[in-house]
A and B are shown apart, each in its own frame.
Chain A
């Protein structure tokens, strides 16, 4: 009986610890089940090292066909849930086939790991990094343990960062000129700009600046696009007249933004737009959307 019961339990407990686990920054990560856990934060080109310890349950020996650790970068489309596409896969063999009688510890190290993409949790797609330890067994199934971690990549301030300046309008109705001070903003940045009214023949009620995120997944005919409005920020109250110039100052920090992701492994893209919306007294909306690039600026280190 004992044996039988043992067959449905993992034969051993696997724990993964990172070498600098105590000092490394932990960030929250939302799991599929909705729970948020704290996981360590890495960036590309870092060494990922640590220890694996395997402890047989109840002091029984564990027979195995080898122990390995994998570092996986995976993209999961929600319409194809459970089917991961690995864009990165590194393996370290930790042990040759044999038996483990007692707690055994293996150090591991992936040095200067190339992790070009950031962890991302979107509406239709997820990009994740995970360490996967496998104790392979011929029968009774292998024992597998996962450890998620988050990757964020920092970008230096762009050398070219032009302002966005544009004149738009509806003939004989509304002409405006707007300007955002940059085209590329980091996550804690502030958008400075102004809207200049060249011609106003409609009764404007108010004007908002929206930040929209456009997530597109798949490719070709299967492209699926999801747009979310992350911020709705009122810029102006009331009807301006010709010649008025309205200031813009929008702090990005309160919003949950990610960097712009362009064509990640041909699987998905995440883009950000500033949408300037004018609403007239009959609630008609006049808008102009401009893409901005969002990047992660190295925080003071």
Chain B
């Protein structure tokens, strides 16, 4: 059916073109022989092809364009004819003898063009007559094309100011009146199309209408080109008249297109000065009109205009552009009760962009917009519409983009309220946008209040908002988000300790609501952030960081830290907590707070004992403990003994022998701290090493028993290295003989039959021996010391 229709249309078009060309041929012949009678006859016949109702607008256009070209030739002929003495007035009458109206009117317009050029009558009179006579065509498509032809031939002949066709005092008015009338009639025809023909072809009709819309819009373009249409005329006549037509036509497509047209064709300055009139029309439009797009484009244009030059800004203030737009949007939203929320949000978003451009200094305006948006949203509940949420994101991102500064944005009291209305997904997206903005601009958020507000804002990341199903969340995304939060926490800085402490408390309060999944991400940065405060206090020599007036003592910080880390129990994340405790202990050490440090160690030990059961985790933990403990200098003998004793105890109780061995020889360092003379207990070092040796031995035997091979000598070589270390450090308990015997032991082991070859261990041992050799050859004190060792 459809295909046939299209094919038929092609046929009709071809037939139309053929008929047109044939008559054009005869017309040319008549033109060549100056035969006016025949010229009129054949041109009328040629134009009769345009009377067809069978073509779609697109095809009709093709036919029209051919006729248009021919009419240009005819017009030339008419012009020559008048030069040859034929009266233009007679010609003007003569063409009206044609019996069919459409050819008659095309001819009339063509002669009319010559008539105006001849200046035998005022342009305005001829134009008025033409535009009036064109009423005879009530068929929408034919009428639109005819009037479009009229518009075309009259464009350069309007009695505009400064034009050669300029008339008396009211000349601009005449020009304007003509275009307005043609516009009005064309719009009526265009709108009428919608209501003709069967309902089932509605889509097709709407498509056809949109193909024709530029014919109508062209008139507005012509209006905008009239020199004499200055701001006053525009304000007093053009705009009200055009709007009247737009409003009264009550047609969705026309209203949408024409409002947009008005906005696009007339200068920004005019819009600014007539904002009230223009905006007044919006609430009167049909409810189905896509007002948001149109209004948004208006605001976009005005925003760009404002951005184009600072000189124009006073104009905006003068006309109170913002409040007018704001009112208008309010009215539109009020008038169109069933406008989807997307529309409202888009409008607010555009308005916000506008005010940010035009009044960057007026945060209250921006806040007002957000407030209005909140009000609208409050009637809707959470947003479901995907596109609406996207708009919300745009809305919320706008101030960030503009100010590049979350601090400024935080001043917008309604900003968080808007965030309330988006779903948690969007909240997260927005929160990420905010964090990225902070990162990008390296924004300093330096008060606890602001931090609090900020965290309230990004709460989508901080905690689970509405019990949304978590299994939906992508693990990677989640990590990414939480890492961002962690980075954000690291960025919070204030040189004032008091305030910084407050910030930390605020952050803590927020992150503690995050639940077990988030804490492992958020607690560490907070802990380190707190530790940084302590470090800074230590480094600030000139001021007394713990002055009388300061209430933030390191103790308080440590208390807070302790409580913070405790929260990880619930996760559970004992290993992480342990690390953090050790970190804190070290900080307490630097702050010279023995009891605090001891407490942290205690916590760490408790964790180790009670929570860390995985053997590999234990190994890691014990090494961390040993490492940290080794560096502690704040402890008194007793405390230190307790702790080291415990640590060595843990080491010996590790599950695997090699682990035991390694932990134990690591413990040897606990008794030997290089720069502290009171902590050099050579004997206990040796005890540790010996114990390690025993364990290594036991390991060998076990291996032998279970696998039939003694396994690697790596442990022995490692212990040998420890021996060498302490030997060099001057531990008198470690002597060359002991080293010698250890080397021999290893050599023997390596040669034993049950030993399974291990190239890595061999290489390690060889390297160690090479080192000894090297030290020996060094000569001097070192060489001397190594002298007794035989390799």
Contact = CB atoms under 8 A, between A and B. Distances in A.
A240 interface: yes
B135 A246 contact: yes
A84 interface: no
**Interface residues of chain A: helix, strand, loop or mixed (majority):** strand
B138 A246 contact: yes
Interface string B81-119: 000000000000100110111101000000000000000
Nearest to B139: A238
Interface string B135-146: 111111011000
A234 B142 CA distance: 15
Given A233-B99, A236-B101, A247 B133 contact: yes
Q: Which of A237, A249, A253, A254 has the most CB of B within 10 A?
A: A237
Contacts of B188: 241
Q: Which of A234, A236, A251, A253 has the most CB of B within 10 A?
A: A234
A234 B139 CA distance: 13
Contacts of B97: 251, 253-254
A80 to B, nearest CB: 37
A232 interface: yes
B643 to A, nearest CB: 99
B140 A238 contact: yes
Nearest to A244: B138
B106 to A, nearest CB: 12
B136 A246 contact: yes
**Interface residues of chain B: helix, strand, loop or mixed (majority):** helix
B136 A247 contact: yes
A239 B136 contact: no
B99 A238 contact: no
Contacts of A233: 99
B112 to A, nearest CB: 13
Nearest to B100: A234
A235 interface: yes
Given A236-B136, A247-B132, A241 B101 contact: no
Given A246-B136, A247-B132, A247-B133, A238 B96 contact: no
A240 B138 contact: yes
Contacts of B100: 234
B51 A237 contact: yes
Interface string A136-177: 000000000000000000000000000000000000000000
B135 A238 contact: no
A124 interface: no
A158 to B, nearest CB: 23
Nearest to A232: B99
A85 B587 CA distance: 144
Nearest to A194: B135
Contacts of A269: none
Interface in A173-222: 206
Contacts of A251: 93, 96-97
A237 B101 contact: yes
Contact of B136 (A235, A241, A253, A254): A235
Nearest to B102: A237
B241 interface: no
A232 B98 CA distance: 10
Contacts of A240: 138
A249 B130 CA distance: 12
A238 B133 contact: no
B132 A241 contact: no
B196 interface: yes
Contacts of B102: 237
Interface string B181-196: 0000000100010001
Contacts of A232: 99
Nearest to A231: B99
A49 interface: no
Contacts of B51: 237
A238 B132 contact: no
A176 to B, nearest CB: 13
A88 interface: no
A203 to B, nearest CB: 8
Nearest to B192: A241
Contacts of B137: 236-238
Given A237-B142, A241-B192, A247 B135 contact: yes
A290 interface: no
Contact of A239 (B93, B104, B139): B139
Contacts of A239: 138-139, 196
A246 B185 CA distance: 12
A232 B100 CA distance: 9
Given A247-B133, A249-B133, A237 B99 contact: no
B101 A234 contact: yes
Nearest to B51: A237
A28 to B, nearest CB: 19
A53 interface: no
B373 to A, nearest CB: 42
Interface of A: 206, 231-241, 244-247, 249, 251, 253-254
Interface of B: 51, 93, 96-97, 99-102, 104, 132-133, 135-140, 142-143, 188, 192, 196
8 contacts: A206-B101, A231-B99, A234-B104, A235-B101, A236-B101, A237-B136, A241-B188, A247-B132
7 closest A-B pairs by CB: A238-B139, A238-B138, A234-B101, A240-B138, A254-B97, A234-B100, A237-B137
Given A234-B100, A238-B137, 19 more contacts: A206-B101, A231-B99, A234-B99, A234-B136, A235-B101, A236-B136, A237-B136, A237-B142, A238-B139, A238-B140, A239-B139, A239-B196, A241-B138, A241-B188, A241-B192, A246-B138, A247-B133, A251-B96, A254-B97
